[in-house]
Amino acid sequence: MAPVTTERDLRLDLFRGLALWLIFLDHIPSNAVSWITIRNYGFSDATEIFVFISGYTAAFVYGRAMRQHGFIVASARILKRAWQIYVAHVFLFAIYLAEIAYVAHSFDNPLFTEEMGVLDFLRNPDVTIIQALLLKFKPVNMDVLPLYIMLLVGFSPVLWLLLRSPSFALIASAILYALMYKFSWNISAYPSGVWVFNPFAWQLLFVFGAWCALGGAKRLAPFLSSRVTLALAAAYLAFAFFVAMTWYFPRVATFLPRIIGDNIYPIDKTNLDILRILHFLALAVIVVNFVPRDWPALRSVWCEPAIICGQHSLAIFCLGVFLAFAGHFVFTEVSNRLLTHVIVSVAGIAVMVATAAVLAWYKNIERGPRPPTVKPGLAGGDA
Amino acid sequence: MRRLWALLALAVLAGPARAEMPAECQVARHLVEDSPRLAGVTAAIAGRHLNVLVLGAGSSVLPGKGGANLAYPERLRLALAEALPGVAVTVTTDVIPHRTAATMVDALAVDLDRTKPDLLVWQTGTVDAMESVDRDQFNQALERGVGIAEAAGADVILINAQYSPRTESMIALGSYAEIMRWVAAQHEIPLFDRFAVMKLWADLGTFDFFSTTKKLDTAGRVHDCIGRLVATLVVDAARPPAQGGQ
C-alpha cells in the first residue's frame, strides 16, 4: 500500500477556498466582478478545482478509515456524508422556492411574459418538489451538490479498488469516461434534458483527485517538475487564453485558424470536455511548481481567509449559493450599478469567511480541551 | 466582462449616427455590425421583393390586442420598408409562445413551403433553457432548422434570448446562447445578439427592465428598437460587397 503523508496540505484548503469564492462570484448572474474569475481566461473554471480537491480529500479521509476500520465502516461514513450533502441541497432548494415564489408574486412585465413561465412549476408543486427530492429537478446553480452526492454514493468500491490497485482504478475511471462519450450516458433530469454535470464524466476528475491523494501525486512528482511539462502547461494555458480572448474581441478571432475553431468547439462543460481537463491539469502543474507545500505564505494571515473557507467547504458552498441568490436579489431590487456589484461581491466573500471562522470556532469548542493534534491529518478539512 | 468591453467599444465607436434611429436604439448599433453576408437578401432586394418569415416563441410577440403591431416582427417590416424604398417588403410570422427549437423546426417545413421566404428570422433559445432541454438536442434542432431553411433557398438570422434580469437566476441561458453562437458561426449566418443588446440597455439605463408594470409602453419601445436593429443588420448584411464597409 502506498505510504501517505499525514501532514495537512494547506494548499488544498487554500485552493478549495478560492474555488468557493470564484463559484460564488460566477453564480451571481451578470455580476461585473465575475470578470476576474478564471473561466474568462481559459477553458476550465472553479468547478474542476472543487471536484478534484473534493476527490483528493475524500480519498484522504475515508482512505484512512477504510484501512483502519475496514470497508463497511468507511462506506457507512461516506454514505453519511452523502446524506449530509443531500440535506444541504434540500435546504438550498427551500430557499430557492422562497425566492421564486416572491418573484412570481411581485413581478409582472409584458416584455417578459415568456420568461415568467419558468415560475409555472409553482402551480404543480406536488410534481416539482418530488422531482427535486429525487435530484431530477435542479434549479440553476444547484447542480454541483447532486453531482457530489452521486460521486460519494459510488465512491466506496472505487476507494476499495484505489487502495489495492490505484492504476487499475484510474484506468477504469477513464474507461467509464470514454464509454460515457461513446454511448452518451447521462442521468435524465426533470422536466427534460439531462444532468448539467454528468456524473459519468465528472467522476474522472474526482477519481483522479483520489488517486493523487493515495500516492499518485508522489508518483507524478518527477514528471510534474520537469521543464518540458512546465513548458507544455504554460503553452497550453497561453493557447486557451488566446482562444478565450476571441470570445470578447471578435476581431481577435480572425487570427484563430478555422481548423482550430472547427475542432475545439463546442467546449462541453456537461460532459467535462477533454480540453477542460487539460486546462485544469495545466493549471495544476503551474500551481504545484510555484506553490510548494511548505510555502511560508500558506501560514500567513493573507491566506487564512481562503484556507478556513476551504476547510468548511460544504457549509461555505451552500452559503455561497444562498448569497448568490441574495446578491442577485440586491441587483434587481436595490441597485444594479457597478459599485453595488463590487460591494455585494466583497461583502459576500466577507460573510463566507466570517461564517467559516465561526464554524472553526465551534469545531474547536466541541472538540473540547484536547489539543487538535489528537486528530491529525485531516488534510483538506472536511471531505 | 462583456459589458465592460461593450461600454468601452461604445465609447470608441460612438461615431456619427447613420440611420434616423431613435437614440435609444442607436446606442446598441455597434452590436449589429460586421455580420456575415446575406446573399439571398441582396438578390431579393435587387428584385424589388423581400419576403421575410419570422419564426419565434413568446418573446417575439407582446400580449394584448395591439401586441402584434407593437412587437418586433411588425417593427422590422416597417423599418425595412423605410430603409428599402421601392422594395415590396412582406413579413409573415409564425409565433407561438412556449415552443422549443425542436417544436419550431417541426412547423418550419410547412412555413417555408407556404411563404417561400428570402429570409428566415428565427428567434429561439429561451424555452429550451427554461425546460433545460438536452444541449445536444438543441444543437441538432438548430442545425436541422438552418439546414432546411437554406435548402429552401432562404437566408437565416438567429435571434437569441432576451436579457430578463428578474428571471436571470432561474433560467440558465449561458450554454444555449453559446450553442446558438456556435451554430451561427459554423453556418456563417448572422446572430442578432438580443441578449447583449438588452443587457447594454439595462447597463446604460436606456430602458428599465426591473420595474413591475402591466403597460406596454416600454415593451413597445424595446420591440421597436429590436425591429429597427434587426432591419439595420439585414440591410448592412445585404449590401453588395462592392459597396460594403463603412
- Share above pLDDT 90 across residues of chain B, in percent, rounded to a whole number: 72
Q: How many residue pairs bridge chain A and chain B with CB atoms within 8 Å of each other?
A: 138
Three-class SS state of A274:
helix
Cell output for A77 = 461514513
Cell output for B32 = 449589429
**All structural domains of chain A with their residue ranges:** 10-374
What sign for the dihedral angle of Cα B103, B104, B105, B107? positive
Q: How far apart are CA B192 and CA B9, in angstroms?
A: 17
Pairing mode, strands B155-159 and B88-95: unpaired
Cell output for B96 = 407561438
Across A249-270, b (16+ Cβ under 10 Å) vs e yields: eeeeeeeeeeeeeeebbbbbbb
Q: Is the pLDDT of residue A292 over 50?
A: yes
Q: Is the Cβ pair A140, B202 closer than 8 Å?
A: no
What is the DSSP-derived secondary structure letter of residue A188?
B
Cβ distance B158 to B191 under 8 Å? yes
Three-class SS state of B85:
coil
Listed by number, the residues of chain B in 86-145 with a beta carbon closer than 8 Å to a beta carbon of chain A are: 97-98, 126-127, 130-137, 139
Listed by number, the residues of chain B in 177-196 with a beta carbon closer than 8 Å to a beta carbon of chain A are: 178-179, 182, 185
**Minimal-distance CA residue of chain A relative to B188:** A258
A2-16, A160-174, A284-298: which range is least confident on average?
Answer: A2-16
**A163-212 pLDDT tens trace:** 999 999 999 999 999 999 999 999 999 888 899 999 999 999 999 999 99
Cell output for B139 = 444543437
Q: How far off is chain B from A326, nearest CA to CA, in Å?
A: 10
What angle do the packed helices A155-164 and A166-183 form, to 10 degrees? 140
- Report the amino acid identity of residue A72: I
Going along chain B from its start, the domains and CATH numbers come out as 2-7+32-236 (3.40.50.1110)
Q: Is the Cβ pair B57, A118 closer than 8 Å?
A: no
Task: Annotate A309-370 with DSSP letters as a single string.
Answer: HHHTHHHHHHHHHHHHHHHHHHHHHT--SHHHHHHHHHHHHHHHHHHHHHHHHHHHHHHTTS
> For the residues A223-227, what does the mean pLDDT come to?
92
- Expressed in angstroms, the distance from the first to the final Cα of chain B is 27
| pLDDT of amino acid B5 | 54
Cβ distance B197 to B209 under 8 Å? no
| pLDDT of amino acid A349 | 97
pLDDT averaged over consecutive 10-residue blocks of chain B (246 residues)?
52 46 92 91 96 97 91 97 96 96 96 96 96 90 97 97 91 90 91 95 91 90 97 93 52
